[in-house]
Amino acid sequence: MAITSTQTESEIRNVAVGAYLDTGTVAAFDITCGFTPRYVRIVNETSGDVEEWYEGMADSEAYKRVAAGTGALITSNGIIPLARGFTVGLDTDIHVTSEQLSWMAIG
């Protein structure tokens, strides 16, 4: 049996929260929070769908759970960490015209 494990320990130094609403044609967008996040959670308040990204996941991945309860790892149109924030991809369940998004990033 082979076990592979990684862990990073640190105090929480940075937390940012915010909201985003696009009433035009939606596209991927960047959030500048001032630090590289280790965890990002995005909630579509209208539909109840949620995306989460954790440090160690690949760029554009996220774990998505829709309001109906099903969850799955997505490998495109998810979340991309940046040096001072993150990009929210164009997942059509999460990022929808005129639907309120709320987000939290922890670094």
pTM for this entry? 0.88
pLDDT at res. 12:
72
Whole-number Å distance between alpha carbons of 77 and 90:
5
69-105 burial, b if ≥16 CB within 10 A, otherwise e? Answer: eeeeebeebbbbbbeebbbbbebebbbbeebebebbb
Whether the pLDDT of residue 15 is over 80: the answer is yes
Q: What is the pLDDT of residue 13?
A: 82
- Give residue-wise pLDDT tens across range 64-101: 999 988 999 999 999 999 999 999 999 999 999 999 99
